[in-house]
Amino acid sequence: MNAKRNTSHLSAIFGPLEIRVLEALWARGSAAAVRDLLPQFPGVAYTTLMTTLDRLFRKGTLSRFKDGRAFFYQPVASHDELMSQLAGSALSTLLPGDNAAMRPIMSMFVDTVGQRDKALLDELEKLVRARREALEGKAPR
């Protein structure tokens, strides 16, 4: 099983129980019904867990299928894929349409990445280079 992930970055979008449910489903690696997950949530009522799964389904975070009388749920994306989608959504909201107005935001982003981890700057540079080459129709190096 993978080490527990830091999920504090999800708390702006999801409630504490929703985050725990997502973590349980990611760790499980397969679809689960409410009854399958309930033992991992002592003190949480069956109906509360069912409502939480349904809420995540309605948010588009989980898919579901019916087998008999029970719905089975599974994440539509891995943790990393979900984080990428959320970051892309937040970034597109922040970025103005005017290229000149984007410069301070991009500069702040690069500064923040550099302050956090200098190796990430190298990774960012590689990603920018690969994206530029893909846009130009070249295969990345």
* Euclidean distance between CA atoms 21 and 54, whole angstroms: 11
| Average pLDDT of every residue of the chain | 85
Q: Let me know whether 64 and 102 are in one domain.
A: no
Tell me whether residue 18 is in a domain: yes
- Residue 79, classed as helix, strand or coil, is helix
State which of 23, 45, 75 marks the end of a domain.
75
Tell me whether residue 125 is in a domain: yes
Q: What is the mean pLDDT of residues 32-60?
A: 96
Q: Let me know whether 41 and 100 are in one domain.
A: no
Tell me whether residue 132 is in a domain: yes
Name, in order, each residue with C-beta under 8 angstroms of 74's C-beta and a sequence gap of 6 or more. 25, 30, 31, 32, 62, 63, 64
Tell me whether residue 2 is in a domain: no
Tell me whether residue 91 is in a domain: no
* Euclidean distance between CA atoms 24 and 89, whole angstroms: 24
Q: CATH no. for residue 15?
A: 1.10.10.10
pLDDT beyond 60 at 1: no
Model pTM?
0.66
pLDDT beyond 60 at 68: yes
Q: Let me know whether 103 and 139 are in one domain.
A: yes
pLDDT beyond 70 at 122: yes
| Beta strand extents in 1-141 (DSSP E only) | 62-67, 70-75
DSSP 28-43: H-S-B-HHHHGGGSTT
Number of domains the chain contains: 2
Q: Which residue has the higher pLDDT, 121 or 70?
A: 70
Tell me whether residue 81 is in a domain: no
Q: Which residue has the higher pLDDT, 85 or 49?
A: 49
Tell me whether residue 89 is in a domain: no
Which amino acid type is present at position 49? L
Domain range for residue 139? 96-141
pLDDT beyond 70 at 20: yes
Q: Let me know whether 102 and 54 are in one domain.
A: no
Q: Which residue has the higher pLDDT, 23 or 103?
A: 23
Q: Point out which residues pair with 71 in neighbouring strands.
A: 66
